[in-house]
Chain A
């Protein structure tokens, strides 16, 4: 299994419909490069 597939397999359905990658921004860039997609970053804070 490639690293990309592993990364995508680790994606969590934590927010219902949209699948968020369980990884860092750099992981997302790599996945986006291979999948020819854009990266969507939800910056949030706990407070």
Chain B
């Protein structure tokens, strides 16, 4: 995915040209294995950033599309790397902004225990700005939910109810949608979806709405709610072929053949090479179903 989608991107390439010497290391081979062990690399891909002395500055674990990797690398270059944040927090315990940013990075490294400690300090610090305390509380609720292995959503629900009008409530809402889905709590699910659709404002939220919508369509569940989420996802990221594809399928599953065809044609037009064949296949299915003058039915 990095090779197909991220590295060919011209904005990513320009950033690398200006600021990085990039090298690939095969962690399955002798020298690469030793280097991976030296840096404690555990999952792949791991994208490690070091200074010229070989000291780790930061790391990104897992796939990153261009729109995600660019701001992350810019933050690292702009003094908000893991190493820089760690120094800031060690030097000044009242730098609450740095503490929350560092905790977020620790969570990404699966070090929830250290992250929790930092969030807790911020949450309990009367001197910390209210917004940061709220963010820390939100993350603590998420950690508590994961610690309970998805069984106890109490902390998430309280956080969501208390801060439902703030952007911080969106992560809780996304997790609650999954939770209510698994528990079959349809009424709570519908109202949380409504909240998500109303308050989601950026392209990263579009990916999440798209993902939930697609999952339900694949399982043949809740076509109306899936359509509502897919419409919002397209509104937030209108040129994303994968999201348009989901919307087309959602139209189809709701018996809206004409809208499904129009949307899928647009998806094919905008599709990157790696997706085009799959989307063209789905367009063909929709066209054939429309010719037969029956309710379109696509295979997922």
Q: Report which A residues bind B (CB closer than 8 A).
A: 15-21, 23-25, 27-29, 31-33, 35-47
Q: Would you call B13 and A18 a contact (CB within 8 A)?
A: yes
* Residue in B23, B28, B31, B50 whose beta carbon sits within 8 Å of that of A46 in the complex: B28
* Min C-beta distance of A35 to chain B, whole Å: 6
Q: Would you call A28 and B27 a contact (CB within 8 A)?
A: no
Q: Would you call A44 and B45 a contact (CB within 8 A)?
A: yes
Residues on A with beta carbons closer than 8 Å to the beta carbon of B31? 24
B interface, by DSSP: helix, strand, loop or mixed? mixed
Tell me the nearest residue of chain B to A41, going by C-beta: B48
Residues on A with beta carbons closer than 8 Å to the beta carbon of B17? 19
Q: Is B292 an interface residue (CB 8 A)?
A: no
Q: A43-B25, A43-B41 are in contact. Are A37 and B12 (CB under 8 A)?
A: no
Known: A15-B8, A17-B13, A25-B25. 19 other contacts (CB 8 A): A17-B7, A18-B13, A19-B17, A19-B22, A21-B21, A32-B21, A37-B52, A38-B19, A38-B51, A39-B48, A39-B51, A40-B47, A40-B49, A42-B25, A43-B39, A43-B44, A44-B27, A45-B26, A47-B28
Residues on B with beta carbons closer than 8 Å to the beta carbon of A24? 23, 31
Q: A31-B21, A32-B21, A38-B51 are in contact. Are A19 and B26 (CB under 8 A)?
A: no
Q: A18-B16, A47-B28 are in contact. Are A38 and B57 (CB under 8 A)?
A: yes
**0 or 1 for each of B1-41: is its CB under 8 Å from A? (1 = yes):** 01100111110110011011111111110011001100101
Q: Would you call B21 and A45 a contact (CB within 8 A)?
A: no
Provide 17 A-B residue pairs closer than 8 Å at the C-beta atoms, listed in order of the A residue. A15-B8, A17-B7, A19-B16, A24-B23, A25-B35, A36-B52, A37-B19, A37-B20, A39-B20, A41-B22, A41-B25, A41-B48, A41-B49, A42-B22, A42-B24, A43-B44, A45-B28
Q: Would you call B52 and A32 a contact (CB within 8 A)?
A: yes
Residues on B with beta carbons closer than 8 Å to the beta carbon of A47? 28
Number of A-B pairs whose CB atoms are under 8 Å? 128
Residues on B with beta carbons closer than 8 Å to the beta carbon of A33? 52-53
Q: Would you call A39 and B52 a contact (CB within 8 A)?
A: yes
Q: Would you call A39 and B49 a contact (CB within 8 A)?
A: yes
* Min C-beta distance of B249 to chain A, whole Å: 30
Q: Would you call B12 and A18 a contact (CB within 8 A)?
A: yes
Tell me the nearest residue of chain A to B14, going by C-beta: A17
A-B residue pairs, 4 tightest by C-beta: A17-B13, A16-B8, A15-B7, A33-B52
Q: Would you call A39 and B36 a contact (CB within 8 A)?
A: no
Q: Would you call B23 and A38 a contact (CB within 8 A)?
A: no
Residues on A with beta carbons closer than 8 Å to the beta carbon of B57? 38
Interface residues in B184-243 by Cβ distance below 8 A to A read none
Q: Would you call B7 and A16 a contact (CB within 8 A)?
A: yes
Residues on A with beta carbons closer than 8 Å to the beta carbon of B27? 43-45
* Min C-beta distance of A36 to chain B, whole Å: 8
Residues on A with beta carbons closer than 8 Å to the beta carbon of B76? 38
Residues on A with beta carbons closer than 8 Å to the beta carbon of B6? 18
